[in-house]
């Protein structure tokens, strides 16, 4: 199953995948990125994040994993934060999500961490089958600037 790092020529597909993910999560109104800034953040001289793309055998983009490096002081090593994992509905249950997760796991000897919406039981079932588990005792907080620009 083809998995490859995205490059700047993939930006239209990445933007479309982000919007499709937001639609799936019923959060389309929260997608406010500027395409030029997204390009700088993903493909500029110091990328803030990276994207892996899953492709079908005929080269169509089936899904993506958008991720960035983290660091654990307790482990003393880097890990990966999976910000977004999305496989287009018509390509689900063909192994693309699993292939993306396995590639991320192979890229670090530290943690791979992410969050999942409470209602997304299909994703939770996949994560459980992999042996991933929720982290008990931790609550996620978010602090945003009033003007995100």
Q: State the catalytic residue, choosing from 14, 64, 84, 127.
A: 127
Q: Is 24 designated active site?
A: no
Q: What is the tally of helices (H) and strands (E) in the chain?
A: 4, 5
Q: Please state, in angstroms and rounded to a whole number, the distance separating the CA atoms of residues 107 and 104.
A: 5
Q: Using the 8-state DSSP alphabet, how is residue 5 labeled? A: E
DSSP string, 41-91: HHHSSS-S-EEEEEE-TTS-EEEEEEEEEEEETTTTEEEEEEEEEEE-GGG
Residue 118: both structure tokens together: 């409470």
Catalytic residues: 127
């Amino acid at each position: 199953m083809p998995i490859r790092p995205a490059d700047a020529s993939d930006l239209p597909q990445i933007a479309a995948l982000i919007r499709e993910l937001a639609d799936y999560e019923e959060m389309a109104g929260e997608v406010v990125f500027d395409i030029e800034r997204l390009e700088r953040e993903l493909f500029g001289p110091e990328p803030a994040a990276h994207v892996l793309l899953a492709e079908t055998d005929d080269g169509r983009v089936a899904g993506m994993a958008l991720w960035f490096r983290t660091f654990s002081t307790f482990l003393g090593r880097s890990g990966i934060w999976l910000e977004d994992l999305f496989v287009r509905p018509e390509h689900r249950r063909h192994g693309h999500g699993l292939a993306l997760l396995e590639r991320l796991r192979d890229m670090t000897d530290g943690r791979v961490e992410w969050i999942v919406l409470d209602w997304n039981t299909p994703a939770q079932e996949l994560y459980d089958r992999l042996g991933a588990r929720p982290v008990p005792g931790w609550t996620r907080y978010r602090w945003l600037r009033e003007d995100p620009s």
